[in-house]
Amino acid sequence: MLFADGWTTNSFEMSLLAAAAFGLLGIAMLALGFKVFEWITPKLNVEEELVKGNIAVGIMVGALLLGISLIVVRAIGG
């Protein structure tokens, strides 16, 4: 078949619902990953270090969130 089936209202609504559900699931898993990181490193107070202007902690947290995001994308997307 050259062309795909047309969009119906029902399939479009289900696609939006699935996108919203997976988006919320991804955000929840990202927050959970950050909380696990804070649990693993009890002597590091991320918020306090960022207020002090510690750029290394900011880079580390950014890399951590990107890494967790990549894992979540592969886990949800297959």
Per-residue model confidence (pLDDT) at position 7: 65
Within-domain flag for 49? yes
Within-domain flag for 19? no
Per-residue pLDDT tens over the stretch 4-59: 666 666 788 888 898 899 999 989 999 999 999 999 999 999 999 999 999 999 99
Per-residue model confidence (pLDDT) at position 73: 87
Tally of domains in the chain: 1
pTM of the full structure: 0.73
Within-domain flag for 37? yes
Within-domain flag for 1? no
Q: Contact, 65 vs 30, CB < 8 A? A: yes
Within-domain flag for 4? no
Domain span including residue 59: 26-77
Within-domain flag for 7? no
Q: Contact, 33 vs 68, CB < 8 A? A: yes
